[in-house]
């Protein structure tokens, strides 16, 4: 067992570090969750893409570098250590792209991925509805067959970044489900947020910024080529997306390693060394970030990211780590800890405050942590199904419960 | 990078686990707790024959080591089956003597290590001056030799005896303060360094053992809540029960990589190894103790009885949390992990 990088991997790290040092904006961009910040972050995606850093693990044909999972982890470590901007393209690159690699057609990949890599098309996720949150399969928006495609109608909620994004991917009821089998008959479709029949209503999150939106769809036409996977088989496709959202793809270990490192620096600079209670919390963030980093290396050495129900373990871990880490930072800042990110005096240009607001959402999105705990208990530990008598939980396909261990 | 156990290491775990699973360790633990060491020593002999005590010992002294990844694998199994006796302390002694031997002081290593490896000598240690060390030696009354480095000294003693043997919160652990002999068997800076090194290996082995203890607690509790029925349904169908066990699983899942990361650091002799070991010990202690609390709560009153075998692991999770590095002591050593 070792944690050694090859000379090629080290060279890749050095190349990434040098490029980032030369290109990361000196002063942080305005918040991603504002119109101005969104535009700034999109411009940053163009810069990243020009250096071919926006999606290093993709094949070169789509704008990537064909790099390994481990090299992607390395790039992420360097990216966040450099203090580079949040990724406005994350829901495309981190969620839709892996889904297209697994379930899409070659035509879809060739058409969609290059524009995603360059930031030309920014994607939002349109899953939840006012009446369908944790119980996602109870969604009511529909896809009705039309000549050459489908017409989408209904209402989607809590769609992150949809206020300013270009396109969205979502789940729609296309076939009536058999009794007790609500996961069947759903269709995974992509649509333009500026398409005729689409109305986007921005929704302010806790700090007032329009970080998400409601999407109203009124007979929005979607050609057949914009359906991912087979019509009616959307749940399986969506669970592939959810695996990425809960696993390492959306929230890589490097992000938390960088944040933990900054937290230690803050502690050394600002804390009362005698305050061992705070020191323990800082140490906890370090220990957990290291655990996540090593977990990622373990995945890279095995066969890639967590599989099946395992991303639920990851999601519980990173979402709670993120929140604890930022709460500790705000506590360390004493009276400055209450300054909002937009405040002139906000420490670290508001990064801790912004990070805290962002982290608060972690236990909610990508399936609430209560849903994740259900999935871990039922599918990894083999405890009896509870919420739903017949069909599977809204986190996974129906597989017989069995106690499973991660491959060692 | 190959940060995953190899086939041979997984086979080693499987063989050891099968052997211990067939050895009726609960009965051996209960006997050990009563002061009847016979059944425990029989298990001990088989563990020695499997090569476990030679894993931190260089080949020159009858071992196969140092092989920290194999130590992690083996001690996880020892924890899973609650094997009694000074297993962690044996790792401490072997690491201590091997380090002294590496500094050219081979006499003690030659005298003791081959016997320890083959199970012919039972040893323990008290290293109160080293990080996480304790004034007490575990199972001193059973051992052939008690190695002691008193706090604030650079002297290694072989104890001439020990004070009263006192019970631990783990009924299978008995603690005594050793009485040092008149003359140290080794002295100097190298002794202090070796004691520190030994304490790191002991904390590492304890972390691995805690992983096994936590896994056993989780497995037993999952099995219990699947068959225990109340309100006409298995209690494992209730969300409050599921969520507690899911959190237990998350804690153990992410403590594992830290233990393996510490193994890699020890193997490389990296200067940051102590911090990696401390992180592993802190996380494994938390995960195992949380597993113990969940296990007790979800078993209900039956789990609170001495008669139920759950008690064998509950006490161990608590005792190992305090041994070889308290949670706060470990955390204090982790802050440099990401320093470049």
Domain ranges of chain B: 199-332
Question: CA of A262, closest CA in chain B: separation in Å?
Answer: 10
Please tell me which of the candidates A267, A291, A380 has its beta carbon nearest to residue B254. Answer: A291
Residues of A in contact with B203 (CB under 8 A): none
Q: Is the dihedral of CA B44, B49, B50, B55 positive or negative?
A: positive
Q: Which two tokens stand for residue B253?
A: 């899942």
Please tell me which of the candidates B3, B5, B219 has its beta carbon nearest to residue A294. Answer: B3
Q: Do A383 and B242 touch (CB under 8 A)?
A: yes
Q: Do A260 and B338 touch (CB under 8 A)?
A: yes
**pLDDT at residue B268, rounded to an integer:** 84
CA–CA distance, B112 with B21 (Å, rounded to integer) = 30
Q: Work out the burial of residue A106: count CB atoms within 10 Å of its CB; fewer than 13 is exposed, 13-18 middle, 19 or more buried.
A: exposed
| Test mutation, A247, A283, A405, chain B, max B CBs within 10 A | A283
**pLDDT at residue A164, rounded to an integer:** 96
Q: Which CATH architecture has domain A123-233?
A: Beta Barrel (2.40)
Region of residue B269 (phi > 0: left; psi between -120 and 50: alpha; otherwise: beta):
left
**pLDDT at residue A323, rounded to an integer:** 98
List the one residue out of B93, B94, B156 whose CA is nearest residue B125.
Answer: B93
Residues of A in contact with B258 (CB under 8 A): 287, 290-291, 294
Question: CA of A377, closest CA in chain B: separation in Å?
Answer: 5
CA–CA distance, B207 with B286 (Å, rounded to integer) = 10
Q: Do B237 and A384 touch (CB under 8 A)?
A: yes
Q: Which two tokens stand for residue A155?
A: 């209402």
- In sequence order, the 6+-apart residues with CB closer than 8 A to the CB of A5 are A13, A70, A74, B1
Q: Do A294 and B258 touch (CB under 8 A)?
A: yes
Determine contact, residues A233/A164, Cβ cutoff 8 Å. Answer: no
Question: CA of A78, closest CA in chain B: separation in Å?
Answer: 13
**pLDDT at residue A388, rounded to an integer:** 55
Q: Do B263 and A5 touch (CB under 8 A)?
A: no
Residues of A in contact with B263 (CB under 8 A): 1
Residue B226 CA from chain centroid, whole number = 30
**pLDDT at residue B8, rounded to an integer:** 95
Residue A392 DSSP class: -
Q: How far is CA A137 from CA A177, A226, A238, B239, in A?
A: 10, 21, 11, 20
CB pairs under 8 A between A and B: 169
Q: Do B249 and A279 touch (CB under 8 A)?
A: no
Q: Is the dihedral of CA B125, B129, B133, B138 positive or negative?
A: positive
Measured at the alpha carbon of residue A228, what is the angle toward residues A223 and A231, in degrees to the nearest 5? 75
CA–CA distance, A355 with A336 (Å, rounded to integer) = 15
Residues of A in contact with B260 (CB under 8 A): 1, 294, 298
Out of A255-264, B65-74, B263-272, B322-331, which region has the weakest mean confidence (pLDDT)?
B263-272
- Catalytic residue ranges of A: 245
Question: CA of B272, closest CA in chain A: separation in Å?
Answer: 13
Residues of A in contact with B283 (CB under 8 A): 287-288, 291
Determine contact, residues A38/A193, Cβ cutoff 8 Å. Answer: no
Share of chain B above pLDDT 70, in %: 100
Does domain A7-117 match CATH 3.40.50.1980?
A: no
Average pLDDT over residues B77-82: 98
Question: CA of B267, closest CA in chain A: separation in Å?
Answer: 9
Q: Do B242 and A386 touch (CB under 8 A)?
A: yes
Average pLDDT over residues B40-49: 95
The strand pair at A186-192 and A167-173 is best described as antiparallel
Q: Which CATH architecture has domain B199-332?
A: Up-down Bundle (1.20)
The low-confidence residues of chain A, meaning pLDDT below 70, are: 304, 387-408
**pLDDT at residue A387, rounded to an integer:** 62
CA–CA distance, B245 with A313 (Å, rounded to integer) = 12
Which fold would CATH assign to domain A247-380? Butyryl-CoA Dehydrogenase, subunit A; domain 3 (1.20.140)
Residues of A in contact with B327 (CB under 8 A): 280
ipTM of the complex: 0.96
Determine contact, residues A300/A312, Cβ cutoff 8 Å. Answer: no
- In sequence order, the 6+-apart residues with CB closer than 8 A to the CB of A362 are A251, A318, A319, A320, A322, A323
Q: Which two tokens stand for residue B21?
A: 């699973």
Please write the tens of the pLDDT for every residue from A74-133. Answer: 999 999 999 999 999 999 999 999 999 999 999 999 999 999 999 999 999 999 999 999
Q: Do B335 and A264 touch (CB under 8 A)?
A: yes
The domain segmentation of chain A, as residue ranges, is 7-117, 123-233, 247-380
Please write the tens of the pLDDT for every residue from B246-305. Answer: 999 999 999 999 999 999 999 988 889 999 999 999 999 999 999 999 999 999 999 999
- In sequence order, the 6+-apart residues with CB closer than 8 A to the CB of B178 are B126, B137, B140, B146, B148, B157, B159, B161, B162, B163
Q: Which two tokens stand for residue B22?
A: 């067939």
The strand pair at A198-203 and A142-146 is best described as unpaired
**Any alpha helices (H) in B22-122, and if so which ranges?**
25-34, 38-49, 68-80, 87-102, 107-117
CA–CA distance, A114 with A126 (Å, rounded to integer) = 21
């Amino acid at each position: 067992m070792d944690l050694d990088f090859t000379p090629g991997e080290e060279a890749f790290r050095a190349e990434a570090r040098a490029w980032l040092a030369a290109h990361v904006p000196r002063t942080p961009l305005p918040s991603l969750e504002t119109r101005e910040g969104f535009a700034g972050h999109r411009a940053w995606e163009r810069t990243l893409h020009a250096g071919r850093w926006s999606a290093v693990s993709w094949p070169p044909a789509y704008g990537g570098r064909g790099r390994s999972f481990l090299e992607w982890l390395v790039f992420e470590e360097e990216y966040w250590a450099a203090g580079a901007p949040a990724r406005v393209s994350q829901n495309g690159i981190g969620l839709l792209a892996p889904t297209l690699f697994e379930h899409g057609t070659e035509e879809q990949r060739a058409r969609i991925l290059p524009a995603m890599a360059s930031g030309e098309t920014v994607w939002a996720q349109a899953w939840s509805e006012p009446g369908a949150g944790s119980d996602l399969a109870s969604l009511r928006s529909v896809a009705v067959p039309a000549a050459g495609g489908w017409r989408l109608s209904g209402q989607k909620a809590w769609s992150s970044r949809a206020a300013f994004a270009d396109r969205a991917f979502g789940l729609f009821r296309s076939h009536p489900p058999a009794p007790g089998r609500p996961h069947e008959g759903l269709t995974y479709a992509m649509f333009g947020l500026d398409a005729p029949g689409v109305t986007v209503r921005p929704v302010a999150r806790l700090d007032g910024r329009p970080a998400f939106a409601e999407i109203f769809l009124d007979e929005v036409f979607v050609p057949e080529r914009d359906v991912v996977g087979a019509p009616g088989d959307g749940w399986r496709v969506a669970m592939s997306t959810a695996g990425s959202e809960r696993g390492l793809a959306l929230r890589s270990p490097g992000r938390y390693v960088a944040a933990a490192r900054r937290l230690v620096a803050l502690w050394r600079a600002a804390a009362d060394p005698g305050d061992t209670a705070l020191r323990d919390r800082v140490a906890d963030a370090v220990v957990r970030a290291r655990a996540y980093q090593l977990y990622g290396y373990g995945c890279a050495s095995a066969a890639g990211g967590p599989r099946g129900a395992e991303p639920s373990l990851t999601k519980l871990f990173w979402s709670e780590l993120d929140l604890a880490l930022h709460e500790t930072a705000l506590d360390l800042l004493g009276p400055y800890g209450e300054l909002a990110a937009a405040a002139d005096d906000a420490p670290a240009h508001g990064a801790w405050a912004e990070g805290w607001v962002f982290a608060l959402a972690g236990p909610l999105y990508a399936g609430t942590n209560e849903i994740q705990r259900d999935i871990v208990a039922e599918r990894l530990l083999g405890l009896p199904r509870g919420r739903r008598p017949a069909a599977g939980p809204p986190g996974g396909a129906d597989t017989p419960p069995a106690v499973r261990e991660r491959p060692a | 990078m190959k940060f995953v156990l190899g086939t041979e290491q997984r086979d080693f775990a499987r063989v050891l686990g099968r052997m211990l699973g067939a050895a009726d360790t609960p009965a051996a633990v209960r006997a050990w707790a009563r002061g009847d060491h016979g059944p425990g020593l029989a298990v001990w002999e088989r563990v020695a024959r499997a090569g476990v005590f030679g894993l931190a010992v260089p080949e020159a002294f009858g071992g196969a080591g140092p092989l920290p990844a194999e130590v992690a694998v083996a001690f996880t199994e020892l924890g899973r089956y609650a094997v009694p006796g000074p297993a962690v302390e044996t790792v401490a002694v072997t690491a201590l003597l091997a380090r002294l031997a590496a500094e050219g002081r081979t006499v003690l290593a030659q005298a003791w290590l081959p016997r320890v490896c083959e199970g012919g000598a039972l040893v323990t240690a008290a290293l109160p001056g080293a990080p996480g060390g304790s004034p007490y030696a575990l199972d001193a009354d059973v051992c052939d030799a008690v190695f002691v480095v008193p706090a604030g000294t650079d002297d290694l003693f072989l104890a001439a005896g020990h004070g009263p043997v006192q019970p631990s919160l783990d009924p299978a652990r008995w603690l005594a303060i050793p009485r040092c002999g008149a003359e140290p068997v080794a002295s100097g800076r190298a002794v202090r360094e070796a004691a520190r090194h030994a304490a790191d290996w002991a904390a590492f082995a304890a972390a691995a053992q805690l992983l096994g203890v936590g896994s056993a607690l989780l497995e037993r509790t999952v099995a219990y809540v699947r068959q225990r029925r109340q309100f006409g349904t298995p209690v494992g169908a209730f969300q409050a029960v599921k969520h507690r066990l899911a959190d237990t699983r998350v804690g153990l899942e992410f403590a594992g990589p830290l233990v393996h990361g510490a193994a890699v650091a020890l193997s490389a002799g990296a200067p940051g190894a102590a911090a990696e070991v401390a992180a592993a010990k802190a996380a494994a202690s938390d995960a195992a103790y949380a597993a113990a609390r969940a296990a007790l709560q979800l078993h209900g009153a039956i789990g609170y009885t001495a008669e139920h075998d759950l008690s064998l692991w509950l006490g161990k999770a608590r005792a190992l949390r305090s041994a070889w590095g308290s949670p706060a002591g470990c955390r204090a050593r982790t802050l440099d992990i990401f320093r470049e």
